[in-house]
Amino acid sequence: MPRRPQSIPANPGAALESLIGVFALALIAWQKKHGRHDLPWQNTQDAYAVWLSEIMLQQTQVSAVIPYYQRFRERFADVAALAAASEDDVLALWSGLGYYSRARNLHRAARQVVEIHGGKFPDTQEALMALPGVGRSTAAAILVFAFGKRAAILDGNVKRVLARLCAIDGYPGETAVAARLWQAAELLLPKSGLRAYTQGLMDLGATLCARRKPRCSECPAADLCIAHREGRAAQLPAAKPRKALPQRRTTMMVLRRAGEVLLEKRPPTGIWGGLWSFPEIESDADAAAICARRYGAEVEAQAALPLIAHGFTHFHLDILPLPLRVRRWPRTVAEPGLIWLSLEAAESAAIPKPVRQIIRQLSAE
């Protein structure tokens, strides 16, 4: 057995070569016997399937992704079908999965694949990373699984595996720490068995090498893992430095008439970009006066619905839904950016999760 280094040095070299080979062989053998083999995007070299799953899996658990992936494949069988769809249709199908910039980038990337690459995904890292929403790790996954090429991935689960295996201290979101993790990912990459190895890294991080309570006794790399040997598996990788998130508050005007509600198209960028939502106002604003000024409408305020607490990456948002009965509405339905929908139609539209919660409350009345 080769001598194991205590950690990845700043400039790793030949001293790690024997360790790298042992880790890869152990991981590949484990993946073939104990890894995941029946996920709906596996057992294919279809670049569209690989790309779609990788985008959906960004910051999202497999169990949440599976039904969305299956619905997307049923609705958009290939990249050409996705490219031909409207953004509203894509966002509606994505609704509830969160991080909506992924859906907008997905749609833009599909159109680029069709317009620039003739409907075929490129097979180079540079060309893949030129697609909206495709970063270094996502491009590498496509290269490995769809084209059998040699490339290193480094998603959230893999960062945890490598931080523990190589005892890389620090928060992975920091530039210097990320650089060391990428360095280790490249060095550990075997020359063959790339699909099983790459899938094994994902599987190991998602199952045994969990963030909390890692199951080190079942890990194929336990005897190689420096963090395990030093009793530091629970401390690595370092957590993101904590800071208090700002608290924001908004009021959503739930305008109702003849069994329909008014939805407003949000700007293409920012939170819930491109989705349909209830018009928002400041919490202490006069809703009736704003409706008169903004729409030329006459409304009557009703009892507010329960407050909805919604969390984003960078802030917390408290949403007060304020139902407003419309007495007079002079505008037409066809005005851009506004649409009247029945509760049933609104629930199936491209709307954010809190809006869907409000609509379901109204439907239950």
Residues 262 and 229 in one domain: no
What is the value of pTM for the model shown?
0.80
Average pLDDT for the chain: 91
For the question of residue 54 being annotated catalytic, the response is yes
Task: Note the pLDDT tens digit of each residue in 134-148.
Answer: 999 999 999 999 999
Please give the residue range of the domain that contains residue 311. 247-363
Residue 295's nearest CA partner among 249, 347, 255 is 255
Residue 263: pLDDT over 70: yes
Q: What number of CA atoms fall less than 13 Å from residue 229's CA on the CB side?
A: 13
Task: Note the pLDDT tens digit of each residue in 226-241.
Answer: 999 999 999 999 988 8
- Residue indicated by tokens 């609705």: 75
Buried b (16+ CB within 10 A) or exposed e, 285-323: eebeebbeeebebebeeeeebeebebeeeeeebebebbb
Phi-psi region of 38 (alpha: psi -120 to 50; beta: other; left: phi over 0): alpha
Looking at 235, 260, 282, which one is the last position of a domain?
A: 235
8 domain-assigned? no
27 domain-assigned? yes
**Phi and psi at residue 325, to the nearest 5°:** -85, 125
**β-strand 260-265 against 338-342: which pairing, if any?**
antiparallel
Residue 328: pLDDT over 50: yes
The Cα 362–Cα 63 span in angstroms is: 29
Residues 257 and 139 in one domain: no
Which of the residue ranges 10-24, 39-53, 243-257 would you say has the lowest mean pLDDT?
Answer: 10-24
Instruction: Over range 342-355, report the average pLDDT.
Output: 93
Number of domains in the chain: 2
Residue type, 52: L
Residues 256 and 226 in one domain: no
| 268, 269, 274, 354 from 100: Cα distances, Å | 10, 10, 9, 14
Looking at 207, 235, 263, which one is the last position of a domain?
A: 235
Residue 254's nearest CA partner among 286, 301, 295 is 301
321 domain-assigned? yes
Looking at 235, 256, 284, which one is the last position of a domain?
A: 235
Instruction: Over range 202-214, report the average pLDDT.
Output: 94
pLDDT of residue 134: 97
The Cα 23–Cα 255 span in angstroms is: 60
* Given 17, 54, 74, 365, the catalytic residue: 54
Residue 223: pLDDT over 50: yes
Residues 230 and 314 in one domain: no
Quickly count: other Cβ atoms within 10 Å of residue 153's Cβ: 25
Residue 179's nearest CA partner among 154, 161, 158 is 154
Task: Note the pLDDT tens digit of each residue in 44-86.
Answer: 999 999 999 999 999 899 999 999 999 999 999 999 999 999 9
